[in-house]
Structures are given as structure tokens and as C-alpha cells.
A and B are shown apart, each in its own frame.
Chain A
């Protein structure tokens, strides 16, 4: 029997038929079996009906990409095969729900049809047809059946012995069917050492977890895909520690509630996607003008307008970098992995309070909703820093009737008194104001306080503003957020298949852009290629504003709603490399 060390698997069916949970069970089972598991869900903006699918990739090494191909496909509706067929690897097995059992070779794959529903009904539980298909999946890679049992016992604990028994029976049936009909196609997924040092987690969960651990105790938001899970996670966890979420009337309330809570001294955030981000822009300016620290999460989806509400894109970069009237100080961060989402979210609160300004935390649909396998959390990495909050003793020393909330200081950051402090009474203002917070139109003060606000954030830095891989390479692939997953895979493939080394640069701090630190990896290179999910190459344009790379940079873009496939990007990178080489030869 052939031994394999990676598996790419997909289940497709109609929405509302448990496709997601079927995928989740297999993912978690393989995760516990010792594999690094990464998943990607494809779904539509409706609740019942319509094709949905769940992709899973199990690897012996960490990755952020759910893979281009499929080795085993469970087709639980008629659309699964036509929609996903192009991903089938030669020799793949497709298990399809059908009228009667039939096994036949199709063009490039083996089609195995089983009357899953009828078999499940015979077993006494028609709902268990997905479990039969799961059992077949496990059997095809010789996964010990006990791996499923353990999961079933935990999953259905509350539903009682009978449900547990019938689900186990369904899985057993799947194993039996494979042994009977597909024994010659069975492979063996090599067992790996199990680890208790890993988590299987989504980007939204990691973001919420990181915010929670950083002391965020208030989140106000309005439901929107793909950001809602952040609010839902916080809703489940905050009350126990004296905080709450609030599902408010709209996204303007989402940000303004957070501003109020932050003014009063809580660590507060709001989470949304593009449409909500558009609504928040006036209040974003208020947060910056009043020097109120908040964190705003924009989990991007395909725009513009309502766009493709359940599809992936990275097209809000300009919006996050520039939106709102007037000029404001802002910090824009973008974790480049699900693991980093935890730490970047936690640091976002430190940066917000240290620099007393809004921090925008970018995510994208893939980064938000995919799950992957990450190392456990390092509790020491991000200690909480609340910035220049003053105690009553400290405030008293100033001896002011009206506390100068916007005091001019060397670093531009003013001591901050929280409501309730007897010596810190002041009014925060969205109007231009002097040091005391009172309205002023004095041109000298205006100029000075504008400089204070704009310049104070210059030194703001994430502890890891970017990651570099093979930084000495003369061609760099640059990306943000979930693009890191595809770039890492592309670099791996080019190295393994073509013996070519390309570098990878994954920028986590977009504003203020750490220009000097980035220079060695961007200036003086032969070619800079950004890999980004938008039409206009927004990341490339942002980099071109800071580095003289106009004649040796290009963007590989995609804006069809889907994440990149490694094959496509690798092919395009090779084309660019060829072009560069030909140009050099012609020159020589």
C-alpha cells in the first residue's frame, strides 16, 4: 500500500446540508492525528441551497494555503463534480451520492457512486449519510477508525448514547464499503507524532482571542460577513471578565460606541468589512482628532458596494490607508498569518493607547475564515502597555482647573486623564482645539497641534512590522495578509521544481510604512512582484510611493472572488522572470 504524507480533500454539497460540519470533523480528526491542517470554505450569500464546499489540506509541515488540488472529493450534490473537477489530481477518487453502487474510471479520476442516503436509512439514521462518506474518506487513507470514534464521542456527548452509536455505525459502514469496493485504491496516510503544542484556529478567532488577552473589554459592531465571528467570539467570552459586546444599530454606532468606551478608559474595538468601513470613515477622523485610542478591524471582502459578499479580496488597502476627510494620524496593520493575527491584534491595542490614535487592523476573507494549525500562544510576547494614562496624583501635579488633555510634549503624545479622575477634567473635541481641548481657530495653534498629531505616530512600530524569507534573492514576491500563504507555496514550488530561489516579503505594518527597515529588501532588487487580490495593484502603488522601483516592479492580481492558486502564480512568476532575463540578454 502506498504511503502518503499529504492529503487534499474536499466535500461539496448544498448549503444547509451539514457540509461545513462534515469538513470540520475530518479537519479536526486529522489535526489530532498529528497533521498540520489548513481549510478553506467556499459559500454563497444565501442560507439554504446553492453549492458550497469545504477544502482541507493536511501536511506534515505548517502552511497557510489550502492547496490547489483534490485527491478525494465527496460529491454530495450534482454540482460538486462540474464545479470542482478542474482541481482533481490525476488518479483522484470521487465519491458521489447516487441511485445505485457503481465504480468506474472517468477521464482522469475514479468515480465511485453509492446510494449513501439509502444506506444511512437502512442503518436507521438518514442524517448520518455524511458520516458514511467521512468513514469512506478515512478508510481510503487507512486512518484508524478509532480516530473518528474519539471525535464522535466528544461531539455528540450531549445527544446521548444512541446518537453516538448510530454515528459510529455510519463511519464503520463507510470503512466496510471501501474494503468491499475500493480496496485496491486504499493508501496509508503516515501517522505523525501527535502534538499538544498546536492549535487549530481561524483568523477571526485568533484576532478575537488576541484582543481579549490584550484587555479589550468592549466591542460594538454590526453583523457582516466575514467579520461577524469576531463579535460572536467576544460575545461568548467578554461577560465573564466584566465586559460586553454590543450589536448596535449600524456601523456608525459601531465605531462611535467604541470611541465613547475608549474615551472613558476601556480598551475598545469595532469589527466590520468594507461596507461598514465606508460608513465609519467620519468617526475614524473623530477618533484621531480627539486622540482616542480604538482598534477597527476591516475583514475585507470583494467590493465595491455590496460586491461579492462571501468572496475574497484585498481591495480596501487604499481605503484603510487614506479614508476620511482632512488629514489624520493612523496606524494600519495587517497580520500575515493566522498565528500573527493573535499577536498583531494584541499589539494593536498597545499601539492605539501608546499613540492615542485609531489603529486599523486589516484582515481578508481567507485570513478571517480559514482555519490552520499554529503553535500555542506565547504569553510573554505582548505585554500590555496602556500608554500615558495619568493617575489622580500625577494629574494633580499640573494644578490645572481645566486639564490640558492635548498638552504639547516632546514626543507629541499628551498625558491622558480618564473620566472620574478628580484632577483631569477636560473636554475632548472633534473640533480643532488648543491644549485645553477648547475650540480654537488661531492659525498658530492650529499649525502646531496639527504637527503634533500627525508626527506623533512616526515612531509607531509593530514588534514584527514585516517578515522576510530569502531576503538576499534578487527577485522578491511581496504580499499582505493571506497572500503570504500562496507566496510561501510558490517559492517552495519554484525551488523544488525549478531550482529557482525567489524571496518573500510579508508586510504587516502598512502605515506608517517602515521605509528604512524595508529598504534592503525592496531597493536595488532586480524585480519586485506583488501578489494581491485586487484590480489596481494597490500594494504595488503604495510601495512605489516610497521606493524608486517603477521600472522593475509589477503586480500579479486576481479579483474574481477566489484566492490565488499556487499553480497560476508560480506560472506568472516564471513568465516575469523569463521576461526579465530576455531583457537583460538583449541589453548585454
Chain B
């Protein structure tokens, strides 16, 4: 069935009523994402948004598109499975720092090195929001919370460097305090053919009194242009303690599905009898 489609607008993307706390950084991430999708002329039915569990992971409920609100830490594998089956869809993954760098960290590294053509927005507030304020993998050293009462004795995880070191082809950091820049970054990430990581610094106004809007406004260092090599990108991230802003590194490389070189037809299975000729052909292996 061919469908006449009007140009998409923000209204098309309006989903359920958000329940986030007023001022939560996640509002801006959603605004940036929706704006980017509209700017790219994509319709909600051409997009799948997959999330894990957390305040951030509620985004697919609040954005009208195909979506899957999965379980804690498993958004990336669900999203990659969907992309394999429906390569024509634009697959976006959203979730928190706990979801992606804690419980889902194993999947994160492998998604990076697999380089499928999907976009991963980590809505990083350095806290477990939905479970009411525990220390997260990106909470600063000595961060005090209900679970690190004498201060966090671990050191924060550096998702950007992990991605860069493992061959990510698009790595960026955005900030909920700058929706305009974020929209540009997300647009570029979606357009990028391959795995794109956008770590969005997205303050939790309720539980994190350290990593606030003001904190980031004060500390973020602008990276106006992607850096020439991944080594240089890692160096810059390290130099500024991760407080960088912009697209850090981009590399053109065939994505996973292109490399597999398969004529993708996973969904084309029609109801009806099995194909007898194929059965006979395969049976020969067993005779």
C-alpha cells in the first residue's frame, strides 16, 4: 500500500504525558531528539526507539514512534536485533547511565565494536534517578549518596573513551542545557552510517546536587570540530576530565550489516506451505 505522507511535524511525535520532575534534563533530550527527527524528515513509523529501564528509559512512552520499553540494561541488544530484522528502520536507543554503563555495560562495549547503524543516546545524570538517588557508574569520585554515605570510593566510568578505544565510528557529548547544539549533534548522529554514541549530560534536579546545569555550564569545554584521530579524541576527553562538549570523533567505515553483505529478507516470510524444493535440496545433506 502506498501512502501519501505529509512532512512530519513535532505534533506527530507527541506521545504519552511525561511524568519526569519539572526541570529534569531528560525533557531537553527528548525535545532535541524529536526536533532532530523532524528536521531529518523522518516519520514516526520509520523510527524505532528502544530503551531500558530508568527515568530516562521512559522516553519511548513520551515520543510517538515505534518503540520498545525493555528491561534494565538490555536496550542495546533488543535494538540491534530490531535493526537486523528491519534495516530500513531508523533505530534510536535511549537510556540512563545506570542502564548503559552499569547493568548494560557488557552490551555497550560489544555494540560499539559491532558498529551497527544505530544511534545510542545515553541520558547521563550520574545518578540512579528512578530508584531514588543511588550512586551510578558515572558518579564522581567521593560522591555522597544513600549508597556511598562516606563518599564514592570508585572512579567514574568514562563511556566516551571506552567507545573511542573500541572502534566507535561516531562519538559525541551533548548537554541538556544547550538544546540547539544537542539537536545538531543528534541529527548528525542519526545521519551517521554506523554506531553513533551521544552521551548527553542530563542533570537530575531531584537527586544529584553535584552534576547540575550550573556545574556543566562552568566546566564544559567546547570541541567545535571532530578531532582528527581517535587517539587525539581520547586525549582531549582525558585532559578535561570528560567535561567536553561537541562531536569528538567521526570515522567512515562500512557498518556491520553492509559488511555481512547479506541481501536482507528476514521479514519476508509469507504464510502458507513450506517450500518443498528447498526441503529436497537440504535433505541431500542427510542422505
Contact = CB atoms under 8 A, between A and B. Distances in A.
A250 interface: yes
Interface string A194-221: 0010111100010001001111011010
A89 to B, nearest CB: 30
Contact of B89 (A246, A268, A379, A419): A419
B278 interface: yes
B3 A242 contact: no
Interface string A472-507: 000000000000000000000000000000000000
A290 interface: yes
Contact of A242 (B81, B265, B283): B265
Contacts of B32: none
Contacts of B263: 242
A218 B1 contact: no
A213 B78 contact: no
Given A258-B81, A422-B3, A438-B61, A384 B272 contact: yes
A439 interface: yes
B70 interface: yes
A237 B282 contact: yes
A261 B260 contact: no
Contacts of A213: 274-275, 278-279, 282
Nearest to A290: B68
Nearest to B87: A264
Interface string B27-46: 00000000000000001111
A402 interface: yes
B114 to A, nearest CB: 9
A258 B81 CA distance: 6
Contacts of A379: 273-276, 279
Nearest to B68: A428
A383 B78 contact: no
B42 to A, nearest CB: 12
B264 A242 contact: yes
A243 interface: yes
B104 to A, nearest CB: 9
Interface stretch (A64-72, A171-179, A385-393, A562-570): A385-393
Contact of A261 (B3, B53, B85, B269): B85
B10 interface: no
A217 B266 CA distance: 5
Nearest to A377: B279
Nearest to A236: B285
Given A213-B275, A264-B48, A218 B84 contact: yes
B153 interface: no
B69 interface: yes
B207 interface: no
Nearest to B45: A422
A123 interface: no
A267 B269 contact: yes
A554 B106 CA distance: 46
Nearest to A242: B265
A333 interface: no
Contacts of A425: 44-45, 64-66
B237 to A, nearest CB: 24
Size class of the B contact interface (CB-based, 8 Å): 35 or more
Interface in A318-370: 346
B271 A384 contact: yes
B10 to A, nearest CB: 14
Interface string B49-93: 110010000101100111111110010011111111110110000
Contacts of B71: 282-283, 285-286, 430
Interface in A411-447: 418-431, 437-439
Contacts of A426: 66-67
B93 to A, nearest CB: 10
A248 interface: yes
Contacts of A196: 287
Contacts of B272: 383-384
B267 A260 contact: no
B60 A427 contact: yes
A214 B272 CA distance: 10
B54 to A, nearest CB: 12
A240 to B, nearest CB: 9
Contacts of B149: none
B77 A252 contact: yes
B228 interface: no
B283 A384 contact: no
A266 B266 contact: yes
A48 B73 CA distance: 39
29 contacts: A205-B286, A213-B274, A215-B269, A218-B81, A220-B81, A239-B260, A239-B262, A243-B262, A253-B77, A253-B110, A256-B78, A257-B84, A260-B50, A264-B82, A266-B269, A283-B71, A283-B74, A285-B71, A286-B71, A377-B279, A379-B276, A380-B274, A383-B274, A385-B271, A420-B46, A422-B45, A430-B70, A438-B15, A439-B61
Interface of A: 196, 198-201, 205, 209, 212-215, 217-218, 220, 237, 239, 241-244, 246, 248-250, 252-253, 256-268, 282-283, 285-286, 290, 346, 376-377, 379-380, 382-386, 391-393, 401-402, 418-431, 437-439
Q: Closest 9 CB pairs between A and B? A: A260-B81, A242-B265, A215-B269, A427-B67, A257-B81, A266-B85, A264-B85, A260-B78, A256-B77
